[in-house]
Structure 1
């Protein structure tokens, strides 16, 4: 298993990126300013994009695991890698996500705790409604973990 930093042509991983964020225009807002990593374990299994949000806060803007490899620990391994890599230069890592029964427990298992909410984020920023497990995402839930 290896973690590779992607410097150029990040959009070649658009299929994975769209699993983490359904709107390509939103991806375009952070992809080039972010640092992107892929997890390769006999093939690409997952990706993650992180950005420097200032005040020693690192944000996970996009993380996704290929559907046939989900629930095998790849997402958690990627977060562990990112956490270790950036722990010297950042004091907090955060992630924003919809109020979803799929993602909130994942982040909590990785040691994140709910921090704050941005009301109507998905209504105000996405052209089409986003649903997870049959529930429309409305508010952005931020979770944080001290590094």
Structure 2
């Protein structure tokens, strides 16, 4: 079951930090967006955050699945749920960004209907104090994707 995290509930920071290693940035955007959680047998195993960015546009800023549940289709369910949630809230566009080395994520987002639109060069160098590596590649650029919802 996927549901919105209630205001009085604690953020699943362990999951959020899987997708974004900066607790400072995670706390910032979760305070401005809505956090949704995926529960299985009363345990939170997945999370995503929707963040309004511009009129009629929302960004899917964090998607994470507990490492013990990865590779089972839960990430795709979270992305598809986020798209439906954005449509229900009458957004016209949903955006998402991922690191240049996130080949699995890039494939998933495109399978869900997102299209690459731009590259934010040096994004991770500007916004993170420590270097981030994924798949043996330093994460330097943010690949931006979007989907029209209308």
TM-score range, shorter chain: over 0.9
C-alpha deviation, 1:9, in angstroms = 5.1
TM-score (norm 2): 0.91
Runs (4+) of structure 1 moved beyond 3 Å?
Answer: 9-12
TM-score (norm 1): 0.93
Output one character per residue of 1:75-103: Cα deviation in whole Å (capped at 9) or x when no partner: 11111112112214111111111012222
Distance 1:46 1:117 in 2: 27
Q: Which residue matches 2:96?
A: 95
1:36 is paired with a residue of what secondary structure? strand
Distance 1:81 1:108 in 2: 15
2:92–2:148 CA contact under 8 A, matched in 1? yes
Q: Can you give the 5+ residue segments of structure 1 that lack an aligned partner in the other structure?
A: none
Q: Which residue matches 2:147?
A: 145
Q: Which residue matches 1:20?
A: 19
C-alpha deviation, 1:12, in angstroms = 3.6
C-alpha deviation, 1:25, in angstroms = 1.2
Output one character per residue of 1:91-137: Cα deviation in whole Å (capped at 9) or x when no partner: 11111110122221121111111011111000011000011001001
| Aligned Cα root-mean-square deviation (Å) | 1.4
1:40 is aligned to 2:39 = yes
Distance 1:12 1:119 in 2: 30
Query: Pairwise mapping of residues 56-71 of structure 1 onto structure 2 (< 5 A)?
Result: 56-71=56-71
